[in-house]
Amino acid sequence: MMIWQINLDGLLLTRTTALTIADGGEAPAERLDAYLAKIRELEGSGHALTTAQAEIVAGVEVLSGEARLRAGRRDDARERFASAAARLAPQSAGSNYPVLTSLARARWRLDDQAEARALAARVEASQYRHPAYAELAVELHPGAGPGPAPSTTGRT
């Protein structure tokens, strides 16, 4: 039952929130907070999250941080981004590109630009081309648009 509560609720929440934001709406901050409170309660009772669950929960934390930023609650947002980064860091040594992408986004939001770019470079060197990575690439390199980044050597 806990697997369904963590996985399905988290996935549904991230997808519906992303769609709401894409349509110009506001993130459901109360739902995000309630989900994360449930996760804290489960972890407090000794339940260890699986790798996949940690990734799902970190996704909700990032969205919650984004919602808090939009509401002008910068310190609260930083807490969410830091929590997501800490949750994903143990999985960052390998080639789990969704994790690297989410971790890069959290590091970027924490103003750790060098680490965010280093993580993004690892993803860029792979064949992973998920829309989440495309969004991150636009954030890291605004104005670059699709295709290779503009040359810095002056040659074309």
| pLDDT values of the chain reduced to their tens digit, one per residue, 156 residues | 677 778 999 999 999 998 888 888 888 999 999 999 999 999 999 988 988 899 999 999 999 998 898 889 999 999 999 999 999 999 888 888 888 888 998 999 999 999 999 998 898 888 776 666 667 666 776 654 444 333 333 333
Describe the crossing of helices 51-70 and 29-44 by its angle, rounded to 10 degrees: 140
The helix (run of H) or strand (run of E) holding residue 81 is helix 74-88
* pTM of the entire predicted model: 0.80
Rounded-to-integer distance, Cα 132 and Cα 144, Å: 16
Which two tokens mark 44? 């407090």
Looking at 2.60.120, 3.40.50, 1.25.40, 1.20.1070, the CATH number of the domain 2-140 comes to 1.25.40
